[in-house]
Structure 1
Amino acid sequence: MSSTTSTRTRILQVAAQLVGDSPDGDISTRAVCEAAQVGAPALYRHFGDKEGLLSAVVDHGFEQYLATKREREASADPVEDLRRGWDSHVEFAVRNPNLYRLMNSPAMRTPPAAALESHRILTRDLERAAAQGRIRVAPELAAQMVMSANVGVALMLVARPATFDDPGLSRRVRDAVHASILTPDPGVGPPDEAEVPSAAARLSALLRRARGSGLSTAEAALMKEWLDRVANTGPEG
């Protein structure tokens, strides 16, 4: 390991430790420099400014979290994968409250790369569910609904634990959100109006995965727009 890499890594590890130990999750660059035994110029050379350092801390801290998602083999049941993904997200937040609050802080003007990758992984599972006819809306909208609810629950659990103290809260919200975007198991119950948006979402997902659909690029884009509109309108739209 080069001295440059070693210095950057040491600063990053020290900053992550200080964030975790801080009562409110805030740190000063001076404290980081003192703990890492480096001068301020070295910190700014590697990270630009305090926001750059904190963004790197978030990405560094979430590497382990994302590694489990990257290495996870998709099961035959994307709905179960969605449930596990929600639960692991909340578990990570509860184990790392300061880091999690930092990742979702409005002060972070640039979304951390880890957050964007997490969203892509969620969308991928929803696209698999759509291809099986298991969701009522387009995967992109479903991902926004799930992620906003997942982050909201996790933030309340770590920011206001005295108020949000029901151990079953996360599961209840998860199941309610999933019920709003997922269809019943295939073949269970009578057909209803939800089958139309579900079928549209499924066809849109299958067309994205298929090669040689016979449509031009412009036609494929227009077809996706139409199908997503039908999927996202729902039976009451």
Structure 2
Amino acid sequence: MPKQRSADPRTRIIDVASTLLSEEGRAGVTTRRVAELAGVQAPVIYRLFGDKDGLLDAVAEHVMADFAATKSAAVAGSATRGVDPVAGLRAGWDMTIGFGLANPELFVLINDPARGPSPSTEAGIRILADRVHQVAMAGRLRVSEAEAVELIHAAGTGAVLAILRRPESERDTGPADVLYEGLCQRILTASDSTGRAPADPVIAPAVTLRAAVSDLAVLSPAERAMLGEWLERIIAQG
């Protein structure tokens, strides 16, 4: 592995540790090897990151921040090009599944319950929320935006972790595809080609209107807040 030669020691260390994690797993990320390959003394790693766990956390944040930026750009590009929001939602799902399968050690690390929520993970959830909001504004969402975000995030995480339990030679996106189709049955209204049961004639419009409440300049802030509360109560009964 070639040594990284960024001018910034912290960046150099994270780049080396990220490569080791990807190629050799957590066991390959030792402070001694990272220090050697990054061209620094081991005490520098302890000073910057505290310990190996701190270094791994920094690696996770770095890689996830890059992935979140890529997804954010994709969301913005889809909106600019007028891409169907439902197709955009599927594209975001595929990106997440693909990232998880391409970065198994990192994906398991960032989804370790002991780590707790991280800034990059929260950023990813906000990007998902933006995609879901676009679907709601298009009148295609049959549950609340919050419920849709929670279900998609949980399903995507669970799908990747389940696939990663298989031997590497047997991993494919089949289970994730099946899970996504079931998820669509739950959260999306029917289109002519889906064959899904029609959405509740009250709930789906309520979800769409709730998505647009903040833009209703004709109403006062208090009126928008009240309308939003009423709509949320209607949606919750769906």
TM-score by length of 2: 0.83
- From 85, 92, 103, the counterpart of 2:92: 85
CA distance in 2: counterparts of 1:65 and 1:56, whole angstroms:
14
CA distance in 1: counterparts of 2:235 and 2:218, whole angstroms:
20
CA distance in 2: counterparts of 1:12 and 1:166, whole angstroms:
29
**SS of equivalent residue, structure 1 residue 195:** coil
1:130 paired residue number: 136
Provide the aligned C-alpha RMSD in A. 3.0
Kindly provide the CA deviation profile for residues 202-224 of structure 1, in whole angstroms up to 9, marking residues without a partner as x: 1110112x15242334x433432
Query: Which amino acid is the alignment partner of residue 57 of structure 1?
Result: V
- From 220, 226, 229, the counterpart of 2:230: 226
- Residue correspondence of structure 1 range 201-220 to structure 2 within 5 A: 201-208=207-214, 210-217=215-222, 219-220=223-224
How far apart are residue 155 of structure 1 and its match? 1.2
**SS of equivalent residue, structure 2 residue 98:** helix
For structure 1, which runs of at least 5 residues remain unmatched after alignment? none
The yes-or-no answer on 1:95 pairing with 2:95 is no
- From 69, 72, 79, the counterpart of 2:71: 69
The yes-or-no answer on 1:197 pairing with 2:203 is yes
Query: Which amino acid is the alignment partner of residue 225 of structure 2?
Result: A
TM-score by length of 1: 0.83
Kindly provide the CA deviation profile for residues 132-188 of structure 1, in whole angstroms up to 9, marking residues without a partner as x: 211011112100001100110011112334797564221111111012100012899
The yes-or-no answer on 1:168 pairing with 2:174 is yes
| Relative contact order higher in (CA < 8 Å, ≥ 6 apart) | 1
Identity of aligned residues (%): 34
- Residue correspondence of structure 1 range 16-27 to structure 2 within 5 A: 16-23=18-25, 27=29
Query: Which amino acid is the alignment partner of residue 181 of structure 2?
Result: D
Q: Residue 202 and residue 91 in structure 1: after superposition, are their counterparts in 2 closer, same or farther (change >3 A)?
A: same
CA distance in 1: counterparts of 2:119 and 2:91, whole angstroms:
22
CA distance in 2: counterparts of 1:24 and 1:133, whole angstroms:
45
- Residue correspondence of structure 1 range 43-54 to structure 2 within 5 A: 43-54=45-56
Q: Residue 44 and residue 178 in structure 1: after superposition, are their counterparts in 2 closer, same or farther (change >3 A)?
A: same
Kindly provide the CA deviation profile for residues 40-91 of structure 1, in whole angstroms up to 9, marking residues without a partner as x: 4322332344343222211222344233322221243100001111111111
**SS of equivalent residue, structure 1 residue 149:** helix
Q: Residue 229 and residue 44 in structure 1: after superposition, are their counterparts in 2 closer, same or farther (change >3 A)?
A: farther
1:13 paired residue number: 15
Query: Which amino acid is the alignment partner of residue 223 of structure 1?
Result: L
**SS of equivalent residue, structure 2 residue 141:** coil
Query: Which amino acid is the alignment partner of residue 113 of structure 1?
Result: P
- Residue correspondence of structure 1 range 141-152 to structure 2 within 5 A: 141-152=147-158
The yes-or-no answer on 1:140 pairing with 2:146 is yes
How far apart are residue 7 of structure 1 and its match? 0.6
Question: Which has the larger displacement, 25-34 or 192-201?
Answer: 25-34
Query: Which amino acid is the alignment partner of residue 220 of structure 1?
Result: R
CA distance in 2: counterparts of 1:23 and 1:188, whole angstroms:
41
